[in-house]
Structure 1
Amino acid sequence: MHICFITHEYPKTGFPHGGFGSFVKIIATALVTKGIHVSVVGINYSETNEESIENGVALYRLKKNTVKGLSWWLNSKAINAKIREIHKKKPIDIIETAELGLAFLTKIKDIQYVIRLHGGHHFFAEAENRGIDWWKGFQEKRSFAKADAFVPVSNYVKTHTEKYLSYRKKPVTTIFYPINTDLFSPLHVNVVPFQIVFAGTICEKKGIRQLIQAFSIVKEKYPEATLEIYGRDWLFPDGSSYQQMLVEKEFPKLGSYADAVRFHGAIAFESLPAKYAQASVCVFPSHMETQGLVAPEAMAMEKMVVFTKLGPGPETITDYETGLLCNPHNPEDIAEKISWVFANKEKSIEIGKRARTFVLKKYGLENSVNQNIIFFQSLLIKKR
């Protein structure tokens, strides 16, 4: 079997990437160990072509075209050409991409085209209460029409995407994100008392502003508390920094507590476990997620996690059994859940142990990879 993933976000040292890129790297590497040939095609961060083999995965990073008004077409043309070239050398069975990824892809006979639903334009437009951009909306509808099958990463993203886009009676199978439970496993290090850790993009929808507001409340009761923030900055359309906005507007409200809030910027994926391990509690009060990787990753380390009660939150955590759920729009509620962890250390340890058991069963890499292989094989059987 030969599977080709289309993504521009496959992790590359020195460059930022999102959850989709992390997912593709994890699943691609695992599929290779099962004897499956895997290729990844995407646009490079620079204006050069790069080809390499990483952990058995064939990577094709294509020269980035920057011609104003035509870059989308030129980039799509380059991807189509590379796919034809790869297919000629070693026939591709499955092509997988995200929601908009098939919009300008020319379908090749005998290849099955799959969209993995990580949360597309229509999904987040609803979640963020904003209008549909006609261009992105057009691409997403066009892409969905070309798909042969769909794989939502949570039941929540499946049902909410379906409100706006039709699956056209094509196969739809929910497969949760795989977690590398070997990398994200308990580490025997000293936990820093009252340390709160957040990881994710520094932007409004990740709930970081409300977390900083909640920290002020927590600090009143627990003066030793610190907030360590790991993740890349997000920029507004005018190019200004969201992180700088927080510093200018939220930090003055913290007063002397501001020194206990530290931005560390983006760090290597492999460095995250050590940061989670030191935390007394990991907090991810996202306004919206399709599934989210950070919560189950920290849970796999037996850490106490406070996650959003919205979206897929209840699919990820059973409140007070495998973690805590919070109202991400309510700083008081976030603060209350953090304070509960600090006040209930023994119970938090028990919850952390149950959390890892839960993650191993639901998000374990071996189980997830097998589910993906069975799904891909079912498409090939149907094709025949």
Structure 2
Amino acid sequence: MHICYITAEYPVLNLPHGGVGTFVKTLGYKLIKNKFDVSVIRISNVDKVKIVNDKGVKVYLVPKSSLPFSFIPNSLKINRLIKKINKKHKIDVVETSELGFAFIRKIKSIKFVIRMHGGHHYFSLAENRKLEKKKVWQEKKSFFKADHIIAVSNYVGETTRGLLKLGNKKIQVIYNPIDVKKFYQSDSSKVEKFTILFAGTIIEKKGIRQLIESLKFLVDEFPEVKLKIAGRDSTLPGTNTPYRPILEKSISNKIKSHIDFLGVLPNSELPKHIEQANVCCYPSHMEAMPLAWLEVLAMGKIFIGSLTGPGNEVVNDNVTGLLSDPHNPESIAEKIRWVFNNENLSNVIARNAREDVLNRFNLDKLAEENINYYKSLNQN
């Protein structure tokens, strides 16, 4: 079978990337090993179409338009490329996320699959943002074109079903997989005491501001506490205004010296930083099925996530990790304090976390689920 993914986040040539792209890359490698053909179309800041062979995954980098309403010329380029690829090597499935099919022309011989990673309706509700009419129209149009739907968690699937009035439409839930070899069992002897790691995009919805504010409830009791922040800056929603400078201005002198911004880390270096942290804390306001959480849990590290959304679906509170109220800095601080004061119990929870990942989120297991699902589409 030939699967073609459309994503602007695929990690290649040091271009900025995201969780959806990491998912496609991880699954793509497994599909290649199972005799699938995998193509990826990525709109990028390149000067001309480039084709990169990433361990068998054929990545088509398409120049991003600089014209007004760039989504129109970008979509035209994607349509032409799909048609060209399909003519040369028949595509069985095109997969993208929620808004991805809005301007993609249907080809009868190709199954269109949406994999819900959290769309416009979903995150607007979570962040209490107004819906944008243009994106509402695009998302509804995209789902109308989809032949099949996958959700990366029960929560994102059922929440989106309600928001978009999808009725009884079948939604297949397949969790995001994690490579438990790359994210190995960590060595507790390498832990740096009283260090907290945050890894993710630096933006309000990731809970980074509340995590920083939690330090003011910890520094007096733990004067050695250090928060290490790894990730790229983002912009305020609907603007081109960078978020990090605004965030840094809000940091009080009392806690400023306890914070290190590490910048963007190569994904290959992340396991080392996870291993060294005393606790990893990613208090997102909302997620769909966060790969970043799974990376920490896979390494047998004590982890603090969020009670919101699919939090309970990913983490069994007080058994495989800890869940906090991501909007409440005191709640976050309470969980961090518990970890610092309960090393032995934290280690038990951390061991449970890796065991749970091996059982539920193992790449081999979930790759097989995806393979069986794709093969079933040829029978419909």
Q: Deviations over 1:107-165 (max 9, x none)?
A: 11121110000000011111111221111110100000000111100011011101121
Instruction: Give the % identical residues.
Output: 42
Q: What is aligned with 1:72?
A: 71
**What is the TM-score when the length of structure 2 is the normalising length?**
0.97
- Maintained 8 Å contact 2:29/2:57: yes
Name the CA distance, whole Å, in 2 between partners of 1:380 and 1:197. Answer: 44
For residue 364 of structure 1, what is the aligned residue in structure 2? 362
| Partner residue in 2 for 1:204 | 204
RMSD: 1.2
Matched letter for residue 302 of structure 1: G
Give how far 1:168 is off: 5.9
TM-fit CA distance, 1:46: 2.1
Q: Are 1:118 and 2:117 counterparts?
A: yes
Q: Shift in Å at residue 166 of structure 1? A: 3.8
Is the Cα contact below 8 Å between 1:48 and 1:64 reproduced in 2? no
In the alignment, is residue 190 of structure 1 matched against residue 211 of structure 2?
Answer: no
Q: Distance in 1 between matches of 2:2 and 2:167?
A: 26
| Corresponding position of 1:243 | 244
Q: Who is 2:60 aligned against?
A: 60
Query: 1:26, 1:180 within 8 Å by CA — same for their partners in 2?
Result: yes
3-state SS of 2:74 partner: helix
Gaps of 5+ in 2: none
| Counterpart residue identity of residue 198, structure 1 | F
Question: Could you tell which deviates more after superposition, 207-216 or 14-23?
Answer: 14-23
Per the TM alignment, residue 12 of structure 1 is displaced from its structure 2 partner at its CA by 2.3
Distance 1:216 1:168 in 2: 47
Q: How far is 1:63 from its partner? A: 1.9
Q: Distance in 2 between matches of 1:147 and 1:239?
A: 32
1:34 paired with 2:34, answer yes
Q: How far apart, in 1, do the equivalents of 2:354 and 2:15 lie?
A: 30
AA aligned opposite 2:186: L
1:152-191, Cα deviation, whole Å (9 max, x unpaired): 0001101110112144644321001011111111233511
Distance in 2 between residues matched to 1:142 and 1:238, nearest whole Å: 25
- Which residue of 1 is the match for residue 339 of structure 2? 341
Runs of 4+ in structure 1 deviating by more than 6 angstroms, as ranges, are: none
The Cα offsets for residues 186-216 of structure 1, whole Å up to 9 and x where unpaired, read as: 2335110010000111111100111011112
Q: CA shift at 1:238, angstroms? A: 4.4
The yes-or-no answer on 1:329 pairing with 2:327 is: yes
Distance in 1 between residues matched to 2:10 and 2:293, nearest whole Å = 21
Match of 1:23 in 2: 23
Cα distance in 2 between the residues matched to 1:124 and 1:365: 27
Q: How does 1:204-353 map to 2 (within 5 A)?
A: 204-236=204-236, 237-249=238-250, 251-252=251-252, 255-353=253-351
- CA drift of 1:64 comes to 1.7
Asked if structure 2 preserves the Cα contact closer than 8 Å seen for 1:150 and 1:167, the reply is no
Q: Which amino acid aligns with 2:368?
A: N
Q: Which 5+ residue runs of structure 1 have no aligned equivalent?
A: none
